[in-house]
Amino acid sequence: MNQGSLKIYKPFGPSVAKVIMPTELVDALNKYTEEVINDQKKSENLNWGDNLVGAVTQEFELESEFMDKIKWNEFISAGVRAWIFNSQKKKITEFNPMTTWIVRQFKNEYNPTHHHNGHISGVGYLKVPKKNHEINNKNRYDGQLQLIHGSKAFLSDSTFTVEPKVGEFWFFPHYLMHTVYPFKNSDEERRSISFNARVDDKIFNIFDL
């Protein structure tokens, strides 16, 4: 990961971070996804949809051998380490990935408001429909990710909306509620990759003094 690509946002209480995925990583993940799609047995074995809340076409885990090959855990670990250090000036010594999965979303499908397990979560984009949202209506969030925290108040927003762009990867704390809106004006696929991980308990648990 190019450390210079890290950008930290603090739209409400917790911060979130964005990095750019290397093109070769995006290509490798898309190629792997196509292989899984075309292998019915592998698709069934890797199915992760029963463990998730999304009303989407397909959700499946990545195989550990493939993640090792593309150095996936190194990529997300570098992003998390940079984010936490730049946010809190603390260096994590433990990074334990839990699960990484692909989400394939098509027209009218969605992910309801939910949170994740572990300490840290993230999502990156591998494919995005060309007509992802209604640009003539600013109140439409077709296909977009919305992060939610607290309630709207003076000088404080409660939502942060992310328009998916291929190659962008976002990190956020696991407890941050979020949702993915359906899109209606494209037959193309919206493809993303997500993960959950744990870091040092002494860093995550701010009340353990």
Residues 6 or more apart whose CB falls under 8 angstroms from that of 7 comprise 17, 18, 19
Residues 6 or more apart whose CB falls under 8 angstroms from that of 23 comprise 167
Q: Is 208 part of a structural domain of the chain?
A: no
pLDDT for the residue numbered 4: 57
Residue 60 CA to chain centroid, in angstroms? 14
Q: Is 205 part of a structural domain of the chain?
A: no
CA–CA gap between residue 39 and residue 44 (Å, rounded): 9
Encode pLDDT of 28-76 as tens digits.
Answer: 999 999 999 999 999 999 999 998 999 999 999 999 999 999 999 999 9
Instruction: For the chain, give the percent of residues with pLDDT over 90.
Output: 82
Instruction: Please give the residue range of the domain that contains residue 113.
Output: 3-200
pLDDT at 112 over 90: yes
Q: Is 12 part of a structural domain of the chain?
A: yes
Q: Is 196 part of a structural domain of the chain?
A: yes
Residue pair 203/128 in contact by the 8 Å Cβ criterion: no
Encode pLDDT of 131-157 as tens digits.
Answer: 644 444 555 789 999 999 999 888 888
CATH of the domain at 69: 2.60.120.620
Q: Is 206 part of a structural domain of the chain?
A: no
CA–CA gap between residue 154 and residue 133 (Å, rounded): 29
Q: Is 207 part of a structural domain of the chain?
A: no
Residue pair 131/185 in contact by the 8 Å Cβ criterion: yes
Q: Mean pLDDT for the chain?
A: 92
Number of domains into which the chain is organized: 1
